[in-house]
């Protein structure tokens, strides 16, 4: 197998494997940063209609058996800095995707670690999806497109 064929095979494997998780992580990063920026200068939290939806969604998830352990695991693996860890995971995923000529095994490992963290973050931050509502599908498509474009 030539270097070009190997690079193409690797690109397809990376695109098909953890790419969906990377796109989910990017989508959650955008949503959480938007909410953070929106609430930063808020004088009255009651004026933000999406907060009620987020609280109701979080309450409904709290009644499930899997949500609390997912949030606890997310808090544990992010070492108390979930925002920074999500930024790092998304950044790491994009760097690995942009570097087509890097060492294959370490990049595959970094890609899967970033994908696992992005998936965990998505599960833990599900209440944030109340913010964009149906627009989450559009945001996911845009995130997936960006991840695909970054894949060389």
Instruction: Give the tens place of pLDDT for each residue, 128-147.
Output: 988 877 788 888 888 888 88
Going by C-beta distance under 8 Å and a sequence separation of 6 or more, which residues neighbour residue 110? Answer: 92, 96
Measured in whole angstroms, the distance separating CA 4 from the mean position of its chain's CA atoms is 30
Lowest mean pLDDT among 29-33, 76-80, 96-100: 96-100
Q: Which pLDDT tens digit goes with each residue over 105-128? A: 898 999 999 999 999 999 999 999
pTM: predicted TM-score of the whole model, two decimal places: 0.81
> Is the pLDDT confidence value at 7 over 50?
yes
- Distance, in Å, from the CA atom of 80 to the CA atom of 24, rounded to the nearest integer, reads 21
**Nearest partner of 39 among 54, 27, 60, judged by Cα:** 54
Sign of CA dihedral 121, 124, 130, 135: positive
């Amino acid at each position: 197998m030539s270097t070009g064929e190997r690079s193409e095979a690797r690109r397809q494997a990376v695109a098909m494997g953890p790419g969906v998780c990377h796109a989910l992580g990017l989508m959650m990063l955008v949503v959480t940063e938007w909410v953070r920026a929106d609430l930063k200068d808020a004088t009255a939290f009651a004026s933000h209609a999406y907060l009620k939806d987020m609280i109701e969604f979080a309450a409904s998830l709290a009644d499930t058996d899997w949500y609390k352990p997912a949030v606890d695991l997310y808090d544990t693996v992010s070492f108390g800095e979930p925002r920074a860890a999500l930024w790092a995971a998304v950044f790491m995923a994009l760097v690995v995707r942009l570097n087509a000529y890097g060492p294959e095994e370490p990049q595959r490992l970094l890609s899967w670690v970033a994908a696992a963290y992005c998936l965990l973050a998505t599960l833990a931050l599900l209440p944030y999806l109340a913010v964009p509502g149906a627009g989450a599908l559009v945001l996911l498509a845009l995130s997936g497109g960006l991840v695909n474009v970054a894949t060389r």
